[in-house]
Chains A and B, each alone.
Chain A
């Protein structure tokens, strides 16, 4: 049973545009929601993370929006750059269990 659903599967954005990736979760016990960026041949790298008591978190060009009632969260990449071209994964974890449940991934391509 997939507990974290991610969309879209792929995304093409022009340089300077806004990239938006969405995730929805089923387990209301999840209490930690990170986003990871993965380049080909590399391991995932943490971008930004949020907890359900906060509705939005911003770090540089990256923003997480969190809607607890809808059980959804999204990643916004402002002023997207070609260097942002990568695969992005949302994830969720239970506080006590710690292991991450990942979404299916979004392949982002930023065109110059």
Chain B
């Protein structure tokens, strides 16, 4: 299994500002994913981030709003730009285990936008 940490664990931000969320993994992984979990809801995939290539975004999510970096095989960042209260959610990164479909999730970043 992989051990994943996220920073910050939670934050309260003002409308119109941006927040960058960091995801660190204890081993090298090819595929990393970013999900959003709105309050009391299920998880929705934002994008898939592979090292050395542009992130692939799901329908309804755009790079200008959620820019992603993947500088190496153990680290990724997700930025939530020009935030509005509708962006208040838990943002989770996940990685795929080596040689399997198993995905491991980080603890999440709880974002509140005022």
Contact = CB atoms under 8 A, between A and B. Distances in A.
B101 A89 contact: no
Contacts, number: 54
B103 A100 contact: yes
B45 A100 contact: yes
Interface of A: 32, 34, 36, 41-46, 49, 89, 93, 95, 98-105
A103 B42 CA distance: 7
A108 to B, nearest CB: 15
Interface of B: 4, 31, 33, 41-45, 48, 58, 92, 94, 96, 101-108, 110
Given A98-B31, A100-B103, A43 B42 contact: no
B103 A46 contact: yes
A44 B95 CA distance: 12
> From DSSP, what is the main secondary structure of chain B's interface residues?
strand
Contacts of A34: 101-103
B46 to A, nearest CB: 10
A40 to B, nearest CB: 11
Contacts of B58: 99
Contacts of A89: 42-43
B104 to A, nearest CB: 7
B105 A104 contact: no
